[in-house]
Amino acid sequence: MSASPPAPNLSTPKLYTSSAIKSNPYLSAQITQLVNSAFYRSKVSSPGVESKWDNTRPRFESPDALHAMLSDERSVMAVIFDDSSSSPATSATESGEEEEGGEDDEDDDERLVVACAAAIPWAGGWHREGASTERGWEIKTICVHGDAKYLRKGLAVQLLGFLEEYLVRLERKALAVKGGEGGNAEGKVTLWILAADCINGVYWRKRGFEEVRRSTEGSGVWGCRTEFDMVVLKKEVRF
């Protein structure tokens, strides 16, 4: 009788700045692969949905595309590792570079990335509608590794909460600077999601996001072969 595989030893979420991601090629490659795999699964998981999408197009063609998403230096990404599993990069040549963000960063090349999520400054919807009037942060690429031992563990929700806490701390500091001793004033952080309604609109509504607007996008957008409803969803985190 074969032994059961060891349970994952999951890390707490770790925050990376845009520059830290860009300076770590191994971490960038792992995140790129994780995101592409997760986006592929999302488009084949529901009957009738697969035929709508061209799954030969990855979410990120290369780590450079990931870096482009994080081009605004205020962008951040949260990552969860499996400390009991090695990343594919461990057999590669060591980079010799140190990454921003923590004294144990040199070990990150040796750990498997199993979940990630990014927050970037909101720049409006797909057609930049709302860009001049709306403020906040867009939550992007919330992805979990497809191995069954990582699924249904609440990792995506954990990362979302982690990013919310970080953004609230950021906004508190900004309020304190603006208001001096009025740093205890009530504030809010606005989170935005841009999603294909037929794939994950229901998921985000269950997590407190509300629809702001929608548009019907045609063939070619996000690899769609026909058309789909793209929704802009919003959640306000008050503190």
Apex CA 48: angle with CA 195 and CA 234, to 5°? Answer: 15
- For residues 212, 216, 222, 224, the Cα torsion angle rounded to the nearest 10 degrees is 140
Is there a domain that residue 237 lies in?
Answer: no
Best CA proximity match to 44, nearest among 35, 34, 54: 54
Query: What is the pTM assigned to this prediction?
Result: 0.86
Is there a domain that residue 217 lies in?
Answer: no
Is there a domain that residue 38 lies in?
Answer: yes
Apex CA 236: angle with CA 234 and CA 237, to 5°? Answer: 140
Is there a domain that residue 112 lies in?
Answer: yes
> For residue 159, how many C-alpha atoms fall within 13 Å in the half-sphere facing its CB?
27
Domain that holds residue 82: 14-187
Three-state DSSP at 213 gives: strand
The values of phi and psi at residue 191, to 5°, are -105, 140
pLDDT given for residue 220 in this prediction? 93
Is there a domain that residue 2 lies in?
Answer: no
pLDDT band at 93 (very low <50, low <70, confident <90, very high): very low
The amino acid sitting at 221 is V
**Alpha-carbon span 202 to 72, nearest angstrom:** 29
- For the chain, the domain total comes to 1
Is there a domain that residue 98 lies in?
Answer: yes
What DSSP designation does 201 have?
I
The amino acid sitting at 65 is A
Is there a domain that residue 77 lies in?
Answer: yes
CATH code for position 68: 3.40.630
Q: Token pair for residue 32?
A: 């790129």
H or E element, residue 139: strand 137-144
Is there a domain that residue 60 lies in?
Answer: yes
pLDDT band at 2 (very low <50, low <70, confident <90, very high): low
pLDDT in tens, 49-83: 667 888 888 999 999 999 999 999 999 999 999 99
Residues 189-197, mean pLDDT to the nearest whole number = 97
